[in-house]
Amino acid sequence: MKKIFFIPLFLLVSFSTFASENQVILSHGWIKQLPPVVPMRAGYFKIQNNRNQPVEIVSISSPDFSKIEIHKTEQINGVMKMTELDNLTVPAKENLAFEPGGLHLMMFDPAKTAKLDYKSSITIHYRNLSPQTFPMVVKK
């Protein structure tokens, strides 16, 4: 009887491990808390592309914001500049970090005043993959 139980369990664990190796993993999502009068927020997260092909992010949405854009902060001729990106490609088997001073989300017109630890969610829309929704927590 014990052998019968362990065989399906082994197969399930093996399949889960294999399946996760070909996914895009989103983690560490957070939104910078700002005063309620500020009409935008900055969002950050990590994306891990475990696939053998690049993935292209074409848009990002959330029920808590009217619009979300991907931005990149970079220094050009000694001046820090923020540029909107129409899309973003995550190379195969690579990771990208959306973090202060680099890639980040500009999140416009919050639907409500979010207190610390409020859990929002965003949905990443890809060119040739199903969308992914994941949590973003409001932090200082």
pLDDT-derived band at 10, boundaries 50, 70, 90: very low
pLDDT of res. 1: 52
CB atoms within 10 A of CB 101: 9
pLDDT-derived band at 57, boundaries 50, 70, 90: very high
CA distances from 140 to 26, 32, 60, 76, 107 (A): 21, 6, 22, 28, 16
Q: Half-sphere exposure of 16 toward its Cβ, with a 13 Å CA cutoff?
A: 6
Domain boundaries, the chain: 22-139
Q: What is the pLDDT of residues 80-92, one digit of tens each?
A: 999 999 999 999 9
Residues 119, 74, 66, 36, Cα dihedral to 10°: 60
% residues pLDDT > 70 (the chain): 84
Residue 18 has pLDDT above 70, yes or no: no
What is the rounded distance in angstroms from the CA atom of residue 13 to the CA atom of residue 100?
37
Residue 26 has pLDDT above 70, yes or no: yes
Q: What is the pLDDT of residues 94-108, one digit of tens each?
A: 999 999 999 999 999
Tally DSSP H helices, then E strands, for the chain: 1, 10
Determine whether domain 22-139 maps to CATH 2.60.40.1890: yes
